[in-house]
Structure 1
Amino acid sequence: MNENQKPMVECQMMVRKPIAEVFQAFIDPKITTKFWFTKSSGKLEESKTILWEWEMYNVSTKVFVKDIVENKRISTEWGDPATSVDYEFTALTDDTTYVVIKNYGFHQTGNDLIQVINDNTGGFTTVLDGLKAYLEFGIELNLVGDKFPQIKQK
């Protein structure tokens, strides 16, 4: 399998907000906690490791920030086993931003790979849906918290 054939999850969404506002929604946990995780050890900063928590599921992960290009890209590595997750931002107009999340570097094979790709596609789509609702309409849909009610810890 060559470089271009490696499995990748890619999810995308247009958000009707300026690029700087959408970019900050992923950098600043005061905003991100409104649509994704519930707690963070800090803002995303290049070469730093941040802890993200989903308290309702009693789950956390360390996120290493590989690279940040202001209003363009955030490159991270997280999970166990670790995979790369890139967030790409493109201004379509002064008031609309196209966000693409790419997740790659999977270690699984066969059915395990199919399952992780399916789970991550659904997860990142949910994140983008929540981002759009929060930034455009100020609504906290609690999508991540409601995704698996059968395993809620709190």
Structure 2
Amino acid sequence: MTKPEIVNPAVAHTAMFIRRPVSEVFEALIDPAITSHFWLSKGSDRLVVGKTVKWEWEMHNMSNEVTALKIEPNKLIVMELPGYSGPTTVTWTFKEVEGGTFVEVEETGWTGTRDELVSYVCDATGGFTWVLAGMKAWLEHGLELNLIADRFPKELVGH
């Protein structure tokens, strides 16, 4: 007997305090020239509502097309990403707090069995945690930690 498919109940969530002004933290996700210091290797353009841009991770020989669905400067970015089971929605929320910015990220929209959803949520939560940690290191200290590249060394991928 196969397990029933569950639609869209899973939410990946993580968050991080970054000691930089909200405008700088927000811009770090809008501008691929900045994002390339902590997440992707390059992007085709800035995020703009309704425009699909290509993000590349050359170290992993992969790319994704990303579409911004909603942008509220310094407050919110909602984007659609290709997910494990089809398109997902990723929501970035930026809150100005004393001494910096609190960033939250959530991904929703997967379909699959309970086991698949647990796997997707764990992978996405872990991945976005690495992204936020890399963003924090870059924006606060100018350090490129290469967390995304080092998470999956090419010699070990597939093992």
Q: Return 5+ residue gaps in structure 2 as ranges.
A: 1-7
- Displacement over 4 Å in runs of 4+: none
Secondary structure in 1 matching 2:111: coil
Residue-by-residue CA offset, 1:51-88 (whole Å, 9 max, x unaligned): 11111111111101101000000000011411000110
Matched, 1:39 2:42: yes
- Supply the distance in 2 between the matched residues of 1:21 and 1:78 (Cα, whole angstroms): 23
Question: Hey, which of these two has a bigger chunk of helix by percent?
Answer: 1
Paired residue for 1:89?
Answer: 94
Please report the TM-score for the alignment, with normalisation by the length of structure 1: 0.92
Could you tell me whether the CA contact under 8 Å between 1:8 and 1:104 is conserved in 2? yes
**Deviation of the 1:109 alpha carbon:** 2.0
Paired residue for 1:140?
Answer: 144
Paired residue for 1:128?
Answer: 132
Matched, 1:78 2:84: no
Question: In percent, how many aligned pairs have the same letter?
Answer: 41
Residue-by-residue CA offset, 1:23-55 (whole Å, 9 max, x unaligned): 000000110000001011100001110111111
Aligned length: 147
Paired residue for 2:117?
Answer: 113
Secondary structure in 2 matching 1:151: coil
Task: Name the aligned partner's letter for residue 52 of structure 1.
Answer: W
Alignment RMSD (CA, Å): 1.4
